[in-house]
Structure 1
Amino acid sequence: MKKSDVVVRTARQTLRIEADALSQLADGIGENFARSVEAIFHSGGRLIVTGVGKTALVAQKIVATLNSTGTPAFFLHAGDAIHGDIGMVQPADVVLVLSRSGETTEIRVLTLLVRNLGNTLIAMTSREDSALARAADYLLLTPFEREADPNELAPTTSTTLQMAMGDAVATALLALRGFTPADFARFHPGGSLGKQLYLRVRDLYPHNQKPVVSPTSSLKETLYEMTGKCLGATAVVDPQTDRLVGVITDGDLRRFLNRDVPLDTATAADMMTPNPKTIPEDELAVQAVARLQEHSISQLIVVDGAAGNYLGFVHLHDFIREGLV
C-alpha cells in the first residue's frame, strides 16, 4: 500500500470516529445540560474553566469563546489552582472542571478545594462514575468509545468532544442572554467580521472628496470636477432645489463622446445617468458592498436617509481598504 493511501485512510478514519462521537454527544444533550447552563446563567459571577494537560488547552479556547459571546469567564490551570491560585475564585463564581478521566491527582485535589469553598461545581468528563463526576453539582458528560489515533492513546476524540461541548454551552448562554449581532460587534471591533456588524457608510464617505456639477455645467467643467476630485465620477445636483438628479461616471462620459453630438454646447444633463444608485448614510457598509456587487458598479452616491440630499460618494476601494471585499 502506498504511503499516500495510508495517510488518506488514517485521516478519514479519524474524522469518522470523531464525527460519530459528536453525533452521539448531540443525542445525549438533555436535562443535565440545561441545568448546568442555567446554573451558569443565574450565578451572578464568572465562569472559571480549569483543566490540566490537553484539557487545559481546551479550557482556554472555551474561555475565549465565552468571553466573546457575553459570558464573563477566565481560565485557571488546575495545577496553579491547587498551589495558591484558587484564591482568584470568588463566592459567586461557577467552576467548570474539564477532565477526561475525572481521576487525576490535580483534579481530585481541586475538586476538594472547590467543595470546601462552596462554589457551584460543574464537571465535564467522559466517566460518569469518576470522582469528579460524583463530587460535582452538575455533570456535562462527554462519553466516547475510543480515541481517534491508531494507537487509541492520544487525546483526540475526547478533546474534540470537550471543545464541542464548550461551544454548546457558550451558544446556549448566548441564546439565554439574547446576545445580538450588535453585541457581538462590541466584542469584535478590530477584525473584518466586526466591521460587517458595525461599520456604516457614514464612517467612510467623509474621507472622499465631494464632486458635484449642475445640469447646465459644460463638458469642460464636468471633466474638471471628475478628474480634480479623483473619483472618476460626479453627482449632478439641481442648484435651485438641491435635488440629486443624476450621476456622470467615466463610462457615461465615454459613451457620450462616442456619440455624434456637438461638444462645445454639451452639458452635464446631456451626459448624466438619471436616477442614480444611492445608499443612505446610516446603512451598514456591508450592505453597500452588496449593492455594488448586485449592480456591477464601483461607487454609490451617499444621501441623507431622511431628505435624500446628496452627501458624497463611497467607492469600492473604501471597502477593500476596510477588508470587507
Structure 2
Amino acid sequence: MLLTEADALRDVAQAVAATPDFGRCVAALLALPGRVVVTGVGKSAHIAGKLVATLNGTGTPALFMHAADAIHGDLGMIQAQDFVIAISKSGDTPEIKVLVPLLRRRGVPLAALVANADSYLARQADYVLHTPVRREACPHDLAPTTSTTAALALGDALAVCLLESRQFSAQDFARLHPGGTLGKRLYLTVGDLSRQNQRPQVGLGAPLREVLLEISGKRLGATAVLTEAGALAGIITDGDLRRMLGRAHLAELETLAAQEIMTPQPATIDITEFAAEALARMQARNITQLVVLESGQFAGFIHLHDLLREGLV
C-alpha cells in the first residue's frame, strides 16, 4: 500500500513539472487581494479543510466551503477578490457540476486540484493542478487512499511554495502559532522565564554558611559568584557543595569562601536567546541550569524546571 501511494506521489511530481499551471497558480495566489476558498465533497472535503488550515498557518488567508453547502447558501462567503480551489478525484461529482457554473458566474478564478484531467471540473478551471492516480491503494480500488494522499501532498506543495515566495520566516510562523509546544519553541525567550526566578548571588569572599543559605533559600540549586564590581566570576551548584564536602576536612569548613568552591567560567546564555536554545545547551552539557546574562552582566538563572513547566522538554 505504501509503495502504491509513493509511486503516485512521483507521478504527481512529474505532472506538476509537465505543465505551467502550478507555477501560474502560485503567481496568481501571490498577487491575490482576497482569500483562498477551498472546496470539495466527501473525502476531498477533509483534504480541503487540511489545506485551509495549512494556508492560514503559513500566511495565506483561506476559508473552507463544503461543495454541498455552497449551493444552499454558503456561496455567499465568496467575495469578488477571492480565489477558489476545488478538490475532486473525478472532477465530475454532481455537487461540483452544480457549483462550477455558479462560480464562473461570480467571475472568481478557479483552480481544479483533480485526478482526472479530462473531467468537467478540469475543463472549466483556469488552472489545473493534476494529481494522476493509477489506482487506489485499497485492494478493491475503491476507497479514497492514493487519491487523497496525492491531493494532500500537492496542496502542501502549493502552501510551501507560497510561504517560500513570501519569505515567511520562523518568527512569522511563531506569531501565528503562539499556543502549544511548537509555538513556544519559536517565541519563548530565556528572559521570559528567568525573570520569574529569584537571582541567587554571593560575593567572592562569602563564607560557606552564606553560600548554603543563598542556594537553599532561592531554590534554584545554584548561586552566582560575583566580583565587587558585579562581574560574573563563577557559579556554585549544590553538586559543587556535595563534592567539596566529600573531600574537605571538618576544620576547613569554617574558613572556606565562595571563591574556593566555585566553578569559574560557568555555562551562560543571553537573556534574548530562545528558551529552546537554553534546553539544547543544558542537554549538551548535561546540566540543569544556566547563568543568564544581559549585556554581559549577571541577570539571573534559567533552570530545567522552567522548561519542563512550559512543556519544552
TM-score tier, shorter chain, comes to over 0.9
1:146 aligns with 2:135: yes
Q: Give 1:178 deviation, angstroms.
A: 0.7
In structure 2, what is the Cα distance between the partners aligned to 1:124 and 1:219? 72
Unpaired segments of 5 or more residues in structure 2?
A: none
Partner deviation per Cα, 1:227-281 (whole Å, 9 max, x = no partner):
111112111111x211111100111112222224411111111111111111110
- Please provide the CA RMSD for this pair: 1.0
| Equivalence for 2:260 | 270
Q: Give 1:129 deviation, angstroms.
A: 1.1
In structure 1, what is the Cα distance between the partners aligned to 2:94 and 2:38? 17
| Equivalence for 1:283 | 273
Identical positions, percent: 54
1:293 aligns with 2:280: no
| Equivalence for 1:47 | 36
Q: Give 1:312 deviation, angstroms.
A: 0.7
| Equivalence for 1:206 | 195
TM-score by length of 1: 0.93
2:15 touches 2:132 (CA, 8 Å); kept in 1?
no
Given candidates 21, 45, 51, the residue that maps to 1:62 is 51
Paired letter, 1:270: E
Paired letter, 1:133: A
| Equivalence for 2:233 | 245
In structure 2, what is the Cα distance between the partners aligned to 1:126 and 1:257? 74
Q: Give 1:83 deviation, angstroms.
A: 1.6
Given candidates 295, 307, 310, the residue that maps to 1:322 is 310
Name the stretch that deviates more: 142-151 or 27-36.
27-36
Q: Secondary structure at the match of 1:101?
A: coil
1:82 aligns with 2:78: no
| Equivalence for 1:4 | none
| Equivalence for 2:84 | 95
In structure 1, what is the Cα distance between the partners aligned to 2:248 and 2:7? 71
Q: Give 1:210 deviation, angstroms.
A: 1.1
Q: Secondary structure at the match of 1:302?
A: strand
In structure 2, what is the Cα distance between the partners aligned to 1:269 and 1:20? 66
Partner deviation per Cα, 1:203-248 (whole Å, 9 max, x = no partner):
001111111111111111111111111112111111x211111100
Name the stretch that deviates more: 273-282 or 25-34.
25-34
In structure 2, what is the Cα distance between the partners aligned to 1:252 and 1:260? 12
In structure 1, what is the Cα distance between the partners aligned to 2:9 and 2:157? 12
Paired letter, 2:302: V
Distance 1:269 1:83, change over 3 A: same
| Equivalence for 1:111 | 100
In structure 1, what is the Cα distance between the partners aligned to 2:192 and 2:45? 41
Q: Give 1:41 deviation, angstroms.
A: 1.4
In structure 1, what is the Cα distance between the partners aligned to 2:265 and 2:73? 70
Given candidates 250, 256, 263, the residue that maps to 2:244 is 256
Paired letter, 2:142: L
Q: Secondary structure at the match of 2:79?
A: coil
Q: Give 1:55 deviation, angstroms.
A: 0.6
Partner deviation per Cα, 1:51-85 (whole Å, 9 max, x = no partner):
11111111001100110000000000111111221
TM-score by length of 2: 0.97
Q: Give 1:103 deviation, angstroms.
A: 0.9
In structure 2, what is the Cα distance between the partners aligned to 1:280 and 1:248? 19
In structure 2, what is the Cα distance between the partners aligned to 1:210 and 1:216? 18
Paired letter, 1:302: V
In structure 2, what is the Cα distance between the partners aligned to 1:260 and 1:175? 61
Q: Secondary structure at the match of 1:300?
A: strand
